[in-house]
Structure 1
Amino acid sequence: MQHKTLNHFLRIPLIIIISLMLSACSSTSTEPVIEDVKPEAELYASAMVKLEDGNYRPAIADLEAMEARYPYGRYSEQAQLELVYAYYRSSQPTAAKTAASRFIRLHPDHEHVDYAYYLKGLTAFEENVGAFDQYLGTDKAKKDPGAARDSFTDFSTLLSRFPNSEYAADSRVRMVYLRNLLAKHEIHVANYYLSRNAWLAAANRGKYVVENYQLTPAVEDALKVMVQAYTELGLLDNASNAQQVLAANFGDPSSANEAAIDESQDVFEQRSWFKRLTFDLFE
């Protein structure tokens, strides 16, 4: 009798434990949460408001959601283009250039594909300039020219394909700046070779500037590099030819008055070739 009573009392806690376990299972098993998916038009409107207010990262979240949920929607192409702009303004250059390249690849005949080229070039342009260069006095010609070359290529493609684009004028002026910058970079490299007595390498850099960056201020320095390098190499005819071209186009470099003019900022305005190159838009 006692044994039967003991078994009875043992069953009670066991039943309680099983009941608690079943209760716990039932309480943790919830219905699948259905995410609140906004309509495409509402997402697009929300992103545009955020872009106008300068809230670029929240706008990116909306635009990326549109790409994921409505890849073939009514606003999909415009959203992709706005996404490039949002990445650019939020200082995400890699994402901006990738998004621009993707838009150009997917929509080569889109009515606003010139804008994608422009934003791509502008992003690379800003990369080359650097956020703190103007405060630190950094010589941008000494930086890696990769971003400058990419920017120049994108602007060049824009002008080639869309010469009447509303972004053509600004792209043209930026190309002048970039071309001068790239030429100056070559001179920095040439001067480095001169400092290392690498005369042939220096001469080749100078020649490259003369042949590929005509009408840039760096041509004068390139000719000077060629004169020095060819003289050191014993190629006196080459040195003489470079000297004659230098004197014919830039005057006698030994003249103090001419040197003073060369160092002034107004010298470019006195050279008609520079005005023609810049269309009187760039000093």
Structure 2
Amino acid sequence: MATAVLVAGLSGCGSTPEDEFSGTSVDQLYADAREEASEGNYESAIKRYEKVEARASGTLMAQQAQLELAYAYYKTGERAQALAKIERFVRLHPTSPALDYAYYLQGLINFNDDLGLFGWLSKQDLSERDQQASRDAYESFKQLVERFPNSRYAPDARLRMNHVVNSLAAGEVHVARFYYRRGAYLAAANRAQTAVSEYRSSPAVEEALFIMARSYDRLELPQLRDDAVRVLKTSFPQSAYLTQGDATIDKKWWKLW
């Protein structure tokens, strides 16, 4: 009797969980997943997309499910899982007709993850945030616009690339300002120079040139100071920085109120 109970117990331990979708066709699962996602029920959609991806492996439906699953993960805040899905998709399907969307979604996830892009509205300190997400977003959008210039996603990707550049430049200038205020003039000049050389089209370059000029002045490097002032005058002839001193650097430029 004891042996029979033991065998029954071992049998129960070895059983697998019942598949709640075992009686649902893969086509119906996919349709249900899309419906759940359209209604904002992303957790429910994820369960179904995962089943579609597994059951329809090797088909176009599975590829589509992978991308929609990545988007659902993104909408539920599972950034790492979303990016992992996209990276796997790009690696396994380099000739997919949906590759442009994969790059766009990859960029979008990193773009929205980086508070440096719009975090200034909430008065958060740029120096406390890692801008790697911005760089990753830029690279994804760059892949999209270079490889698929006529993609429906390319125009928006270009706009977001401009936002990324401005964010990265603003981050460099913020750090330069931080160093200047603390008397680390060489470090301030170097970070400002990075903004000028790498992000020439960004509005933040104006302040970067000003910080360079003031830093070189404090370091008693008149030629470098004069060069920075000359470029500032040429590039921004109406700049307020030309008539203001260190008080301009102390102003929190990112505050709107």
Give the TM-score category using the shorter length. 0.7 to 0.9
In structure 1, list runs of 5 or more residues that go unmatched: 1-17, 264-283
In structure 2, what is the Cα distance between the partners aligned to 1:142 and 1:160?
Answer: 32
SS of residue in 2 equivalent to 1:217 = coil
Match among 126, 129, 132 for residue 112 of structure 2? 126
Match among 196, 214, 221 for residue 235 of structure 1? 221
In structure 2, what is the Cα distance between the partners aligned to 1:244 and 1:85?
Answer: 49
Match among 32, 36, 55 for residue 69 of structure 1? 55
1:90-109 correspondence to structure 2 within 5 Å: 90-109=76-95
Counterpart AA for 1:52:
S
1:216-255 correspondence to structure 2 within 5 Å: 216-251=202-237, 253-255=241-243
In structure 2, list runs of 5 or more residues that go unmatched: 252-257
In structure 2, what is the Cα distance between the partners aligned to 1:246 and 1:91?
Answer: 43
Deviation, 1:181, is 0.9
Deviation, 1:229, is 1.5
TM-score (norm. length: structure 2): 0.81
Maintained 8 Å contact 1:88/1:96 = yes
Write 1 or 2 for the structure with the bigger share of helix: 1
Aligned residues: 239
Match among 184, 195, 210 for residue 198 of structure 1? 184
Maintained 8 Å contact 1:203/1:230 = yes
Deviation, 1:22, is 8.3
Counterpart AA for 1:144:
D
In structure 1, what is the Cα distance between the partners aligned to 2:185 and 2:134?
Answer: 27
Maintained 8 Å contact 1:227/1:240 = yes
Maintained 8 Å contact 1:155/1:172 = yes
Structure 1 stretch 141-150 or stretch 54-63: which is displaced more?
141-150
Deviation, 1:151, is 1.0
TM-score (norm. length: structure 1): 0.74
Aligned equivalent of 1:271: none
In structure 1, what is the Cα distance between the partners aligned to 2:40 and 2:3?
Answer: 53
Q: Percent identity?
A: 39
Match among 148, 153, 172 for residue 167 of structure 1? 153
- The one-character-per-residue Cα deviations of 1:155-205 (angstroms, maximum 9, x if unpaired) are 111111111111111111111111111101001111122123222221111
Match among 149, 169, 180 for residue 183 of structure 1? 169
Structure 1 stretch 105-114 or stretch 69-78: which is displaced more?
69-78
Q: Residue 155 in 1 paired to residue 141 in 2?
A: yes
Higher relative contact order (CA 8 A, sep 6+): 2
